[in-house]
Amino acid sequence: MSSSKLQKEIENLSKQARSASYKLATLSLEQRNKALGEIASLLNKNRAQILEENKNDIKTAKKNRLSAAFTDRLTLTDKYIDSMIDGVKQIIDLDDPLNRILEERTLKNGLLLKKVSVPLGVILMIFESRPNVTIDAASLCLKSGNAVILRGGSDALYSNKILAGIIKTALEKIRIHKDSVQLVSTTDREAVNLLLEQEKYIDVVIPRGGYGLIKAIAEHSKIPVIKHYQGICHTYVDDEADLKLAEEVCFNAKCSRPAVCNAMECLVVNEKIADKFLPSMIRRYISAGVKIFGDEKTLAVAENYNKINNKINTADELVVERAKQDHYDTEFLDLIIAVKVVDSLQEAIDFINTHSTKHSEAIISKNQKSIKQFMDNIDASAVFANTSTRFNDGFEFGLGAEIGISTDKLHARGPVGLKELTTYKYLVFGDGQIRA
């Protein structure tokens, strides 16, 4: 496609989304839920066709020798379609995020002021290979009255097209503006750059994918971006911790699902209990295949333990590698952990605020004053006491489905659910008041 033709196409698509957004903003909850119900029903009816189209993507991925893990993420199955349908149904059951009255008061001059929740308008979702994002994102946007432009990875194009087609059919049936959900079907990479210039028609960009993708979009976009950066999450084990509880929580935070953003990447231990706590903790990690990088003091604890213990049982050796500075700024997303021994709660706080990505941080302590000091001073979307960082999640927090976990501080922080896809406007009712 010529560049001016592409430019025109992207501009048109964005303009159409803006038009559709005005209609969408005034639909009743019933109409929005009806559309979602229709999507769920059509997903069920069109299983065979969805799986067929998905096969085309898998074939191409194999031809392009993409990794098994990649192909795996791309692959849809009947069970996967079930879970997409469940996801849509769950969104139907959630409370309406729109038309909530956030504030209401009568001013001295008699003006009635209402602050009400309204859709953001037009959302641009840019995502990588998982085709289910097409359904998740479209459903959350529809429920919250937002028009959405979907730009999926080119590797999932056939899958995304059939899923977007199903959404369009559902919208038509319920007589909702067909441009409420649009898929950018060109694989031209320039399309993304052009989309990021449509600040007149698009209100917010939500990229889902690796750090590189999000960073590139944030740097190029003229439209505000809700960013889901890395989670370099810490757990600090205080000298007044219940050490058994600490071990269970730290094991869960690292090992229950190491590839996700709320998994713990760094264990911070108070030096006063390091000798007592670390050997058992490290053994537990090693037994689960976790590779450990420790600082000077961690190495000393391990060495000391090994020296005493080796006389009894050489199979039980604590293997800890020396941590490089980089390890404390790395999101491993794997069975790897960095360990740091600190001499005080304040050192733990300073260390975490320096290295954290402001995602999820935890303290294990029985001392309420220490917990308060940690929670007050740590700058993160969620701070946990005596529990696992893995709980930073929209479902777990009771917010329902989420589109991701924001590491931003403006607008949405932490889980981005339906409420976070709304903004507000002030409605002011008068009877002729004028300003002096």
Contact residues for a copy of itself, defined by CB under 8 A: 22, 25-26, 105, 107, 111, 113, 120-121, 203-204, 218-219, 222, 224, 226, 242, 245, 248-249, 251-252, 256, 353, 371, 375-377, 379-388, 390-392, 396-398, 408-411, 413-414, 423-436
Structure tokens, 207? 């990229």
Closest residue by Cα to residue 224 from 195, 199, 192, 201:
199
Between 212 and 432, name the residue whose CB sits nearer to a copy of itself: 432
Report the 10 Å Cβ neighbour count for 20: 22
Phi-psi region of 358 (alpha: psi -120 to 50; beta: other; left: phi over 0): left
Between 175 and 425, name the residue whose CB sits nearer to a copy of itself: 425
Between 129 and 144, name the residue whose CB sits nearer to a copy of itself: 144
Least spacing, CB of residue 332 vs a copy of itself, in Å? 18
H/E stretch holding 282 reads: helix 271-287
The helix-helix angle for 132-143 and 29-45 (nearest 10°) equals 160
Distances (CA, A) of 371 to 239, 387, 388: 12, 12, 15
Least spacing, CB of residue 21 vs a copy of itself, in Å? 8
Please tell me the distance from the alpha carbon of residue 38 to that of residue 171, in angstroms, as a whole number: 8
Between 111 and 319, name the residue whose CB sits nearer to a copy of itself: 111
Sign of the dihedral defined by the CA atoms of residues 362, 368, 374, 375, in that order: positive
Single-letter code of the amino acid located at 305: Y
Between 120 and 170, name the residue whose CB sits nearer to a copy of itself: 120
Q: Kindly give the residue spans of alpha helices, DSSP state H, lying in 46-77.
A: 47-63, 68-74
Question: Can you tell me which residue has the tokens 């050796």?
Answer: 317
Contacts for 83 with CB less than 8 Å, ≥ 6 apart: 132
Q: Nearest 5 degrees, angle CA 125-CA 48-CA 74? A: 40
Structure tokens, 8? 């025109």
Least spacing, CB of residue 185 vs a copy of itself, in Å? 27
Q: Kindly give the residue spans of alpha helices, DSSP state H, lying in 25-46.
A: 29-45
Least spacing, CB of residue 348 vs a copy of itself, in Å? 13
Between 70 and 391, name the residue whose CB sits nearer to a copy of itself: 391
Least spacing, CB of residue 242 vs a copy of itself, in Å? 8
Least spacing, CB of residue 65 vs a copy of itself, in Å? 36
Closest residue by Cα to residue 353 from 373, 323, 367, 334:
373
Least spacing, CB of residue 368 vs a copy of itself, in Å? 10
Please tell me the distance from the alpha carbon of residue 87 to that of residue 39, in angstroms, as a whole number: 11
Between 46 and 422, name the residue whose CB sits nearer to a copy of itself: 422
Least spacing, CB of residue 189 vs a copy of itself, in Å? 22
Between 163 and 204, name the residue whose CB sits nearer to a copy of itself: 204
Between 31 and 306, name the residue whose CB sits nearer to a copy of itself: 31
Phi-psi region of 54 (alpha: psi -120 to 50; beta: other; left: phi over 0): alpha
Asked if 250 and 258 touch (Cβ cutoff 8 Å), the reply is: no
Between 81 and 226, name the residue whose CB sits nearer to a copy of itself: 226
Between 67 and 325, name the residue whose CB sits nearer to a copy of itself: 325
Least spacing, CB of residue 5 vs a copy of itself, in Å? 25
Per-residue DSSP letters for 127-173?
E-S-THHHHHHHHHHHHTT-EEEEE--GGGHHHHHHHHHHHHHHHHH
Asked if 333 and 231 touch (Cβ cutoff 8 Å), the reply is: no
Least spacing, CB of residue 312 vs a copy of itself, in Å? 30
Least spacing, CB of residue 321 vs a copy of itself, in Å? 27
